[in-house]
Homo-oligomer: A and B are copies of this chain.
Amino acid sequence: MYKAKIFVNYKPSVLDPKATVIQQTLTRLGQTNVDSVMVGKYFELVLQGNEAAVNEQVAKLCSEMLANVNMETYRYTLEEVEA
């Protein structure tokens, strides 16, 4: 059994309005020491199967469901967990 930790983020070239709003709000609150803000999505899935099969399944799931590959990139790690 494997736990997949999946991060989905906008590509750097894509405007991220949520991140912009957070940074502007912080600036307005006087917190001008914040150099950059990045907002993403995080998924944790627990999957049964062997590592190769799970890896292939997660890659497909990311590119076809969880991420919009036109605008977003994804990365993930797999770690074995006890049942």
Contact = CB atoms under 8 A, between A and B. Distances in A.
Nearest to A43: B39
A13 interface: no
Interface string A2-38: 0000010100000000000010011000010111111
A78 interface: no
Q: How many copies does the complex hold?
A: 2
26 contacts: A1-B35, A7-B42, A9-B42, A22-B43, A22-B65, A22-B66, A25-B65, A26-B61, A31-B57, A33-B47, A33-B49, A33-B57, A34-B47, A34-B48, A35-B47, A35-B48, A36-B44, A36-B46, A37-B43, A37-B45, A39-B42, A39-B43, A40-B41, A40-B43, A41-B41, A42-B42
